[in-house]
Amino acid sequence: MSQGATAQKPALIAYPKQAAFGRVLPKNKIYEHSGANTRLKELFVKQVEQIVWQYKLAPETINLPARPGVPEIQVFSIQLKSTELHEDVLRCIDGAVQFPILFELNQGQGDQAKTRVVAAYKRPSEADASRWVLSSYFTSNWMPAATARTAMPLALDMAHLYSVLLQGLMPLPARPQEALPDWIARIEQAASKRREVEKTQARLAKEKQFNRKVEINATLRQLKIELEQLSR
């Protein structure tokens, strides 16, 4: 599941005009390229109105050097038919495009129009450089589409820019000197630990035997300590 940012940093960026690409991507081309099954094609048809390749952040458009794993960053704008978008649709698009992507999801019209930013940390696989590995998806809150955009952050190179752009979506702050892959791994561990806490709480609520309740309570306390350690 997507993980929402808690301390919301500016997520809507005013990308430079020279990086504008503005090309509509036919939905069928994307799911044909990724070999999508019938269910996934139906999700595209039901949930997605239009996909626009909005910006191409690359050395030739924003004058930052490429880095291994981040030669370019793409910004895709997706107009939704409702508020719903299944994560598998994003994974399908990410699988079809061999670059990191930031998605801007748009829904509603006029004064009711809203936007949210969604992205997974995407990197080449260490086992097979032709394949890409995706983290969980991180997401901003829904914002009015007319929200003022923030200037694109300063960065040393494409990898640094990617890291800074992802930061606005992260549900936990980075630790001092924490590298992006380690930060992402800790966020995913915390999410997994949170699910364990919720399952254990549900078991505790159902348990009738006093001795078992004591055992489950001890487990729950330990899980909460571990979650707290991961979260700071």
Tell me what the mean pLDDT of segment 10-16 comes to: 88
pLDDT in tens, 148-174: 999 999 999 999 999 999 988 998 988
Domain boundaries along the sequence of the chain: 3-171, 185-230
**Owner of token pair 């390749």:** 53
C-alpha distances (whole Å) from 73 to each of 51, 121, 128, 199 are 16, 11, 20, 38
CA–CA distance, 74 with 137 (Å, rounded to integer): 16
Question: For the chain, what percent of residues have pLDDT higher than 90?
Answer: 76
Structure tokens at 15: 């990308």
Terminal Cα-to-Cα distance of the chain (whole angstroms): 21
pLDDT of res. 211: 94
**Could you give the 3-state DSSP secondary structure of residue 139?**
strand
- Residue 83's pLDDT is 84
- At 24-65, the pLDDT tens digits run 999 888 888 777 889 999 999 999 999 999 999 999 999 999
Average pLDDT of the residues of the chain:
91
pLDDT confidence tier of residue 219, bands split at 50, 70 and 90: very high
Q: Measuring CA to CA, which residue among 2, 4, 97, 86 is closest to residue 48? A: 86
